[in-house]
Amino acid sequence: MSTEQLLKTPLHALHLELGARMVPFAGYDMPVQYPLGVMKEHQHTRDQAGLFDVSHMGQIRLTGAGAAKALESLVPVDIIDLPVGMQRYAMFTHENGGILDDLMVANLGNDELFLVVNAACKDQDLAHLRAHIGAQCNIEPLFEARALLALQGPAAVTVLARLAPDVAKMTFMQFQRVTLLGVDCFVSRSGYTGEDGFEISVPAADAEKLARALLAEPEVAAIGLGARDSLRLEAGLCLYGHDMNTETTPIEASLLWAISKVRRADGARAGGFPGAEAVFTQQQGGVSRKRVGLLPQERTPVREGAEIVNEAGEIIGAVCSGGFGPTLGAPLAMGYLDSAYVALDTPVWAIVRGKKVPLLVSKMPFVPQRYYRG
């Protein structure tokens, strides 16, 4: 795809001005790193605060009295009882139990839900919503209308509270309307780095003004997609299309925690989402493979796609995400392994350039999450 065909976020000109190295990502021309570089951007986010442009992600508003009930028919998550002002992690399931996309759902109150979906899936997600629940609620894509900024790191709350003191009272996964620089925004206390922080939905026309104001604060640096990936990997968070897809179920992806109790086989509103039968069969009968954390025991990073073998050299799985963790100071990975090998500290080997690199099955997150729970 040539650069001319790539979409641009409302902050594109700002990225160029900041000296970003731009790469194609999900159809957008996006900053992979700034002059600071991935390692320092990563560590700056863990030490202070990083500002990420995630405007390529899809924002969708659902409205109408039937919106929550309708959305429940597509996700294995409790949406009906999602409290006003709260956000929850969810996934669209396929009829085979696989995952079509993962998303965040927030309840704004007054029968209004606010969704954030992955950039690469957003057109497909919108079509999916329209096809299945278009008759039950109003579906409004905000793809061009709104930008999305993430302010992440231990200083994020100090910085954002300078613009709106009340955000300091929010706790992890709370979501509310906040006025920033006179602009109506939606703010959630969540993110994709394992750190405390916020995601800010802002009208596209005001995005650059807000981004510049945040970057002017001494604690804040612009952070690219490279560090976003290493941060989320250290935090053990899944990346759609890599760590899960339509061929992996929530059970295989180790995302049972995200299936609300009320929607599970023995729950009050059991099932009622695509692929429920397949998911429940796996939940009760077990799975043949599972996503686990993996720690290479040498300095060699182990990348996505690398085969994993047992001591006898038989293939028992593959790496789905892998690289180097700047905070961990070592390589790290996630992979799908045959269920016989998923116990913690099981020794397995990845094949890297024809050589066996020893790995240990590891708990996740690799770096402790530091969410603010009040």
Partner 1 sequence: MSELRFTEDHEWLRAEADGSVTVGITAFAQNALGDVVFVQLPELQAYDKGAEASTVESVKAASGVYMPLDGEVLEVNDKLDGSPELVNEDPMGEGWFFRFKPTDADAVAKLLDQDAYDRLIKANAEA
* Nearest distance, CB of residue 52 and partner 1, angstroms: 16
Nearer to partner 1 by C-beta: 32 or 278? 32
Helix axes 225-234, 38-47, angle to 10 degrees: 60
Stretch that binds partner 1, among 32-40, 53-61, 125-133, 287-295 (CB under 8 A): 32-40
Write out the binding residues for partner 1, residues 229-268 only, by CB under 8 A: 229-230
Task: Say which residues have a Cβ less than 8 Å from residue 179's Cβ, sequence separation at least 6.
Answer: 164, 185
Nearer to partner 1 by C-beta: 76 or 322? 322
Nearer to partner 1 by C-beta: 240 or 324? 324
Q: Is residue 52 part of the contact set for partner 1 (CB under 8 A)?
A: no
Q: From the list 33, 201, 249, 321, which residue makes contact with partner 1 (rule: CB under 8 A)?
A: 33
Q: From the list 19, 37, 286, 347, which residue makes contact with partner 1 (rule: CB under 8 A)?
A: 37
Burial of 310 (0-12, 13-18, 19+ CB in 10 A): middle
Q: From the list 303, 309, 338, 371, which residue makes contact with partner 1 (rule: CB under 8 A)?
A: 303
* Nearest distance, CB of residue 234 and partner 1, angstroms: 12
Q: From the list 14, 20, 38, 106, which residue makes contact with partner 1 (rule: CB under 8 A)?
A: 38
Q: Is residue 39 part of the contact set for partner 1 (CB under 8 A)?
A: yes
Nearer to partner 1 by C-beta: 123 or 298? 298
* Nearest distance, CB of residue 287 and partner 1, angstroms: 31
Q: Is residue 286 part of the contact set for partner 1 (CB under 8 A)?
A: no
Stretch that binds partner 1, among 239-247, 259-267, 298-306, 310-318 (CB under 8 A): 298-306
* Nearest distance, CB of residue 38 and partner 1, angstroms: 4
Nearer to partner 1 by C-beta: 196 or 234? 234
Q: Is residue 31 part of the contact set for partner 1 (CB under 8 A)?
A: no
Nearer to partner 1 by C-beta: 33 or 201? 33
Please give the backbone phi and psi of residue 231, each rounded to the nearest 5 degrees, phi first: -65, -45
Nearer to partner 1 by C-beta: 48 or 230? 230
Q: Is residue 76 part of the contact set for partner 1 (CB under 8 A)?
A: no
Nearer to partner 1 by C-beta: 249 or 327? 327
Binding-site size for partner 1 (CB under 8 A) equals 18
3-state secondary structure the chain: CCHHHCECCCCHHHHHHCCCEEEEECCEEEEEECCCCHHHHHHHHHHCEEEEECCCCEEEEEECCCHHHHHHCCCCCCCCCCCCCEEEEEEEECCCCCEEEEEEEEEEECCEEEEEECHHHHHHHHHHHHHHHCCCCEEEECCCCEEEEEEECCCHHHHHHHHCHHHHHCCCCEEEEEEECCEEEEEECCCCCCCCEEEEEEEHHHHHHHHHHHHCCCCEEECCHHHHHHHHHHCCCCCECCCECCCCCCCCCCCHHHCCHHHCCCCCCCCCCCCHHHHHHHHHHCCCEEEEEEEECCCCCCCCCCEEECCCCCEEEEEEEEEEECCCCEEEEEEEEEHHHCCCCCEEEEEECCEEEEEEEECCCCCCCCCCCC
Q: From the list 301, 320, 333, 362, which residue makes contact with partner 1 (rule: CB under 8 A)?
A: 301
Binding site for partner 1 (CB under 8 A): 32-33, 37-39, 42, 226, 229-230, 299-301, 303, 323-324, 326, 331, 353
